[in-house]
Amino acid sequence: QQPVQSPQAVILREGEDAVINCSSSKALYSVHWYRQKHGEAPVFLMILLKGGEQKGHEKISASFNEKKQQSSLYLTASQLSYSGTYFCGTAPNTGNQFYFGTGTSLTVIP
């Protein structure tokens, strides 16, 4: 039930782009994205609802393909501040459950 993220880890140079994928075995109602820096609590980035929409947040955007039960997070022109572990969070169509994904560690170097 826990969504699987890929890649597990990625290292980027400043200015490079990255894509993080989140895949669920269950039909989804919504997908959330959070970023967690070392030793800190997760911070909300965005939510995508059933309907296949794409959202943007400065240079970070995401898409949601409900048919494939997948979401992708796009980071463009990465900055040092983007470093951290990214988690997707999924809410299935039914019930009140919420599951965080396996996480993707992203490191941006100068």
Partner 1 sequence: EAGVVQSPRYKIIEKKQPVAFWCNPISGHNTLYWYRQNLGQGPELLIRYENEEAVDDSQLPKDRFSAERLKGVDSTLKIQPAELGDSAVYLCASSLLAEQFFGPGTRLTVL
Q: Which residues bind partner 1 (CB under 8 A)?
A: 2, 30, 32, 34, 40-44, 47, 87, 89, 95-103
Q: Is 99 exposed, middle or buried (0-12, 13-18, 19+ CB in 10 A)?
A: middle
Nearer to partner 1, 51 or 95 (CB): 95
Q: Which one, 3 or 82, has the nearer CB to partner 1?
A: 3
- Of 40 and 110, which CB lies nearer to partner 1 in the complex structure? 40
Least distance to partner 1, CB of residue 47, Å: 5
- Cβ-contact 4, 102 below 8 angstroms: yes
* C-alpha distances out from residue 88 to 13, 36, 48, 109, 110, Å: 23, 11, 11, 23, 26
CB of 64 to partner 1, least distance (A): 13
What minimum distance in Å lies between the beta carbon of 55 and partner 1? Answer: 12
What token pair was written down for 47? 């939510």
